[in-house]
Structure 1
């Protein structure tokens, strides 16, 4: 098959001409932190209006209910924002999934709430400009360009833009899995792994756990031997977990909640810990490790331990189908005169969950930028048309091929 892209230039030009920067500016001024349900509702409405330009069904889907362990060790119900779901041509011969997230890591009281132009407007600093309101804008531009191409009729697609990706997608994971079913490939619009456009390749999995330790209170001076110190037990567990780190399994004990007055043996502690297994077999090792250490600590310290949480992001190695999709994306970038490559990443995202459904995914199709999750977050403005054209070309070439 010819690799010429001459016939695709009208669609590529349309993608580049879309009003992406204006959309990024508008959307990034809406605080849509993962727990800001009011801000997320505003953002979801704006996105529903924008994606209504596509010829399909646009629905705001309620999230699955969740729960979290509070600082006192009590499990509390948790609500999440609604998720945008778009379906276009479900009977077309080539079916794709495109995903993104509307939430950011900046809560309503975070001081980072404004936009700043840098280098004469070549760079935009602001909350969520790269991660990932820029990605959503260029995704929409690519889909609109696809609709303007004669090949568009061969492509059907679903779009999921969720409200809780930054907190591991607990309320939207089921929707993503549902939308992934039967898809040839998926594109996710996290910002590029590096400012030069490098894609993230293999990713580890990720599990977040709140481990509740219940001991027994006692007077710290009169009868401490009658107490069972939950803080000491939780600290022992944290140290043993930390020492169990190895190649293929990163472990980060992140926080211990609990304790009280200095003259009371503490009877409650909550250890928060993140584990990142490189491969599915490493995840199995991690599960056994938690089980074994919890049993040992409970017995040695005479405490009760309850483990809350799990592995919300499965490991994402690059299999044969994924390798073919990466090759297509990288070849398309070269045809556009902007060569890129991919490298392994220690981060995780919804691409992990999509890959676990057996669907090959490239999950850093979004804008070029950097310093994400910080007040220095920035978007390289010229990457909006660049990456919109890349997505457009990848989808058109998939329409031509009909397969990977």
Structure 2
């Protein structure tokens, strides 16, 4: 049963689902893998043109420098695309933040490059749900709100980054900057196929631990060598032992070594942490430091640690609970059931919440099988989710906040 008022119904009626479908089809056909800088440039241009229909200033922001650690332990800079920023009524007293990402997990050489319809309401394509469909939902909702003449008291920023899929390292400072002073935020990651949203999220930290030993002949004088592979394995075992109910630890890979008759003099351990609280980040950092110190002494090797906890945990605090309650009420008024559940995944919503801003980070389309060639978007959810966002935004603006 529709419990919206006439003004809200007129706002929803402005949303053109067919135009959104065509828009997503065009965007999906542009490869914008995180490391495809040329493709990201094309995608950024398309988005800049599309979001220029909003009454704000559109700009492309250069990425911050980012380094990576190669398999041989070399630290080098990597390129990223520019990030899209739209500022609408920056002097308004009530302001929201809307974020998304233009990058996908599928690079220019990946086999998954084209779209197809599984059936009339299911689009399979790279980034269809995650999150080119979500970007279309965001834009349609904001255009509908603007057409409703929301008023000069309400403004917002839109930030669409080019590196979310690899951790938002080149956009983290931009996210922190645009989050300041916002009453609430929506991020347009996909909801589950049934519309369930992500609630609380754990955090994540990724580390590359470079071990430098000493090579020697494995048969003639092995005692003169310092085996970097063994040392890296020792670190992996020590870190794995600290896992617990609120801290997942995954030693994922060891690069290094060489011929069987040579004591390996280098290794790189890759390890991922999933903390479910700030205290677990503190504990994990202490355990990394302790493991490195003990292994360096025990194996007589040099160790360098690269990485960070780039996604803090995202709890459902009082502000987030109010925002979820508002969206749930909007959903009820639109006959769209809204539920949420905790998840181990991470996204830019973690970073926004760490800035003290209430955020719902799965306001995008309904879909599934993301990060796989089976990824799909439910087409009918484009207009559905745009309407949900538009009414929620209008109510927050009308209330002057949460």
The question of a shared fold, defined as TM-score above 0.5 by the shorter chain, is answered with yes
4+ aligned runs moved over 6 Å, structure 1:
none
Shift of 1:15: 2.3
Residues 100 and 23 of structure 1: CA distance in aligned 2, closer, same or farther (over 3 Å):
same
Q: Which runs of 5+ in 2 are unaligned?
A: none
**Aligned twin of 1:388:** 386
**Aligned twin of 1:361:** 359
Shift of 1:17: 4.3
Contact 1:16 1:384 in 2 (8 A): no
**Aligned twin of 1:182:** 181
Shift of 1:4: 4.2
Contact 1:234 1:269 in 2 (8 A): yes
CA distance in structure 2 between the partners assigned to 1:5 and 1:232 by the alignment: 68
CA distance in structure 2 between the partners assigned to 1:287 and 1:316 by the alignment: 19
Shift of 1:18: 6.5
**Aligned twin of 1:351:** 349
Deviations 1:17-75 (A, max 9, x none): 46111111001111100011011000000000100111110001100011110111011
Shift of 1:16: 4.4
Q: Aligned pair 1:44/2:63, yes or no?
A: no
Structural mapping, 1:101-116, within 5 Å: 101-116=101-116
Q: RMSD between aligned alpha carbons?
A: 1.0
Structural mapping, 1:175-214, within 5 Å: 175-192=174-191, 194-214=192-212
Structural mapping, 1:113-124, within 5 Å: 113-119=113-119, 121-124=120-123
* Partner of residue 234 from structure 2, selected from 230, 233, 236: 236
**Aligned twin of 2:171:** 172
Contact 1:250 1:275 in 2 (8 A): yes
CA distance in structure 2 between the partners assigned to 1:299 and 1:18 by the alignment: 65
**Aligned twin of 2:28:** 28
The DSSP-based 3-state class of the residue aligned with 1:150 is coil
Residues 141 and 179 of structure 1: CA distance in aligned 2, closer, same or farther (over 3 Å):
same
Q: Which moved more, 1:130-139 or 1:236-245?
A: 236-245
CA distance in structure 1 between the partners assigned to 2:25 and 2:86 by the alignment: 23
Structural mapping, 1:137-176, within 5 Å: 137-176=136-175
CA distance in structure 1 between the partners assigned to 2:18 and 2:324 by the alignment: 25
Contact 1:16 1:389 in 2 (8 A): no
The DSSP-based 3-state class of the residue aligned with 2:14 is helix
CA distance in structure 1 between the partners assigned to 2:7 and 2:39 by the alignment: 42
Q: Which runs of 5+ in 1 are unaligned?
A: none
Shift of 1:235: 1.1
TM-score, scaled to structure 2: 0.98
CA distance in structure 1 between the partners assigned to 2:4 and 2:10 by the alignment: 14
CA distance in structure 1 between the partners assigned to 2:128 and 2:366 by the alignment: 10
Contact 2:17 2:382 in 1 (8 A): no
Deviations 1:327-365 (A, max 9, x none): 111111111101111110100000000001110100000
Residues 271 and 282 of structure 1: CA distance in aligned 2, closer, same or farther (over 3 Å):
same
* Partner of residue 252 from structure 1, selected from 224, 244, 250: 250
CA distance in structure 2 between the partners assigned to 1:325 and 1:113 by the alignment: 37
